[in-house]
């Protein structure tokens, strides 16, 4: 009896100890982490690895590789290609800490650390990182080559790149509030699903801010090269900075990312990482689903600016 209760105490102590130290240890690489929050819940373990690109240069930045114990597909999420599009790298900085149920998630939250430090679209010398990925050729800067080497190493089954537009597509000369889609595989079906989901649960003023599916990612962009060279679904999510809060833009990106991970099979559990913000009534939801996206047409082949 006595020995039994000492054993129970030891287990309780161990559990408390592990809970207290798990967050601090979460990024010593590699390490296992459990899904937090729910005591006693079956916690899927993930192993996290961190790598450094362009080490020792102003472009130095980290790639995070999150592996679930259950086998599954690999996908990649990128933020911070443009240094003045804050919500992309802030969202990706949270996404890298998510727990997935299957497969491998590769996250590059701050692709262009130099541009982020400058708070500008481009890096020192005016280089636009998202124009350095020509289709069928080697990327044109060292940073772009190191990023592409990561893409080729894994290679992902799908790629999502998080950006901001200054205006709203269709209202201004901007790609804000779009999911720019390279139409390989099931890309178009996912894009229409994701846009419908966001418009239903995350967009309050749908007359102005509803997301649309457009195509194709601009020439020189990472998404265009991934789509064309690897033949994979590739997307650029564009949240508008036009009279929106940064917190809304971050939430939109995280909602896109969660739907992306669910669609491609990395998240299976029911509970949401990004809680639904709004719930439409049955009648509104019907009108949203018929008006979401661009019914009838394939994504336009015209390249878009400012992605």
Q: Closest approach of Cβ 44 to Zn ion, in Å? A: 33
Task: Tell me whether residue 163 or residue 251 sits nearer to Zn ion (CB atom).
Answer: 163
Q: Name which of 89 and 197 has its Cβ closer to Zn ion.
A: 89
What residues have CB less than 8 Å from 68, skipping those under 6 apart?
44, 45, 46, 100, 101, 102, 103, 104, 266
Distance of alpha carbon 75 from alpha carbon 3, whole angstroms: 49
Q: CB of residue 208 vs Zn ion: minimum separation in angstroms?
A: 21
Instruction: State both tokens at 23.
Output: 């967050």
Q: Which is nearer to Zn ion, 82 or 212 (CB)?
A: 82
Q: How far is the CB of 288 from Zn ion (least distance, A)?
A: 27
The minimum distance between CB 151 and Zn ion, in angstroms, equals 18
If we measure between CA atoms, which residue out of 98, 109, 64 comes closest to residue 271? 98
Minimum CB separation of residue 296 from Zn ion in Å reads 28
CB closer to Zn ion, 131 vs 163: 163
Whichever of 164 and 259 has its CB closer to Zn ion, that residue is: 164
**CA-derived radius of gyration, the chain:** 20
- Residue 3's φ and ψ, nearest 5 degrees, are -60, -35
CB of 195 closer than 8 Å to CB of 293: yes
Helix and strand counts by DSSP (H, E) for the chain:
9, 9
The answer to whether the beta carbons of residues 114 and 58 sit under 8 Å apart is yes
> Closest approach of Cβ 167 to Zn ion, in Å?
13
Q: Which is nearer to Zn ion, 201 or 211 (CB)?
A: 211
**Tokens linked to 35:** 């899904």
Residue 220 CB, nearest distance to Zn ion (Å)?
12
Query: Residue 176: which of 203, 141, 138, 157 has the closest Cα?
Result: 203
| Whether residue 133 has a cis bond before it, omega within 30° of 0 | no
Distance CA 174, CA 191 (A): 19
- 144 contact partners, CB below 8 Å, separation of at least 6: 129, 132, 133, 222
* Residue whose C-alpha is closest to residue 274's, from 108, 98, 105: 98
Q: Smallest distance, Å, CB 241 to Zn ion?
A: 11
Task: Please state the closest distance from residue 307 (CB atom) to Zn ion, in A.
Answer: 6
Helix axes 246-263, 187-201, angle to 10 degrees: 140
Nearest-CB residue for Zn ion: 163
Residues near Zn ion (CB under 5 A): 82, 85, 163
- Residue with smaller CB distance to Zn ion, 72 or 165: 165
Residue placing its CB nearer to Zn ion in the complex, 146 or 238: 238
Count of CB atoms situated within 10 Å of the CB of 152: 12
**CB-wise, 222 or 288, nearer to Zn ion?**
222
């Amino acid at each position: 009896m006595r020995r039994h209760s000492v054993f129970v105490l030891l287990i309780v102590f161990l559990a408390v100890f592990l809970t207290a130290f798990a967050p601090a240890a979460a990024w010593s690489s590699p390490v296992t982490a459990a899904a937090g929050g729910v005591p006693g819940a079956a916690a899927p373990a993930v192993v996290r690895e961190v790598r450094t690109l362009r080490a020792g240069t102003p472009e130095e930045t980290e790639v995070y590789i999150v592996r679930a114990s259950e086998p599954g597909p690999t996908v990649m999420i990128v933020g911070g290609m443009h240094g003045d599009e804050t919500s992309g790298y802030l969202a990706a900085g949270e996404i890298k800490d998510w727990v997935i149920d299957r497969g491998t998630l590769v996250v590059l939250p701050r692709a262009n650390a130099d541009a982020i430090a400058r708070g500008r679209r481009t890096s020192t010398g005016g280089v636009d990182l998202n124009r350095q990925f020509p289709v069928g050729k080697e990327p044109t800067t060292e940073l772009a080559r190191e990023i592409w080497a990561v893409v080729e190493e894994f290679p992902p089954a799908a790629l999502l790149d998080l950006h901001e537009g200054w205006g709203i597509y269709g209202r201004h000369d901007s790609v804000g509030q779009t999911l720019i889609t390279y139409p390989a595989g099931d890309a178009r079906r996912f894009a229409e699903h994701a846009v419908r989901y966001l418009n239903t649960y995350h967009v309050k003023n749908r007359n102005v801010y509803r997301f649309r599916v457009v195509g194709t990612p601009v020439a020189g962009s990472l998404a265009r090269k991934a789509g064309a060279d690897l033949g994979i679904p590739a997307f650029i999510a564009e949240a508008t900075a036009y009279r929106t809060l940064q917190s809304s833009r971050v939430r939109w990106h995280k909602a896109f990312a969660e739907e992306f991970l669910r669609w491609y099979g990395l998240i299976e559990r029911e509970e949401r990482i990004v809680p639904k913000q709004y719930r439409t009534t049955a009648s509104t939801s019907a009108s949203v689903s018929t008006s979401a996206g661009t019914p009838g047409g394939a994504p336009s082949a015209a390249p878009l600016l400012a992605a």
